[in-house]
Amino acid sequence: MIEARGLYSYYGKSPVLQNLTFDLNKGELLSVLGRNGVGKTTLMRSFMGLTDRLEGSLSFGGEEIAALRTADRAKLGIGYIPQGREIIPRFTVRENIVMGTWARRDGRRDMPDFVFELFPILKDFLDRRGGDLSGGQQQQLAIARALAMDPQMLILDEPTEGIQPNIVSQIHDVIVRLNREFGLTIVLVEQNVPFARRVSDRFIVMDKGRIVISGTGADLTDELAEKHLTF
């Protein structure tokens, strides 16, 4: 589903990502790990065309997307939940979710019922402003908004950062369901190594804008984590 070949991504004249090459098959879950500041978020933003410039090849579903606008990538079926969630605080929960439907390829604008099965609290808060929700509820709303676009692939950048533990568990369970039950291809930036080991089909570890190691979930040993992920 995703194929990167010799990918460089720039802010200004500086390449933050350098010569990245990897594949992700349809239906797989890829965890992206690494210390702070090594380029994980830049990679997520590069998928969506949110850096200043890309060099190399980046394809999605066999279509080259490196030159496409962000909106066009979304319409191909790439859903993105960034760090900080970026919900619209003055919009209601309902309005935030409906906003996600504008990237749907079939033109439908109705809220999918299954998002309320995944996040029942949102159904109770449909007319509440997004800015009045807790951090964990806002993260659930951000995921629901992305799901409303009927994505083929979901990108989540540290979806449980700064969230209360009981909601962390709920979000982890939803990520697993979306991948295993709904068949969504998922790219996940995650600091929880045991969770990444358990759910990942594949992982990559980044350092200084490069991939320094990759493998299957079973290859993500404590020794590897100690070497590449601790400060």
Domain boundaries, the chain: 2-85+150-229
pLDDT in tens, 192-209: 888 889 999 999 999 999
| Per-residue pLDDT, 231 | 60
| Per-residue pLDDT, 224 | 86
Query: Computed from CA positions of residues 65, 66, 72, 77, in that sequence, does the dihedral angle turn out positive or negative?
Result: positive
| Per-residue pLDDT, 95 | 95
Residue 74's CB is within 10 A of a number of other CB atoms, namely: 22
Residue 109: name the closest of 64, 157, 150 by CA: 150
Task: Quote the CA–CA distance of 47 and 7 in Å, as a whole number.
Answer: 11
Q: Tell me the pLDDT of the chain averaged across its residues.
A: 92
pTM > 0.85: yes
Task: Quote the CA–CA distance of 124 and 214 in Å, as a whole number.
Answer: 42
| Per-residue pLDDT, 179 | 95
**Interstrand relation of 202-207 and 29-33 (parallel, antiparallel or unpaired):** parallel
In this prediction, the residues of the chain whose per-residue pLDDT falls under 70 are 231
| Per-residue pLDDT, 8 | 96
Q: Are 57 and 64 in contact (CB under 8 A)?
A: yes
Name the CATH superfamily for 2-85+150-229: P-loop containing nucleotide triphosphate hydrolases (3.40.50.300)
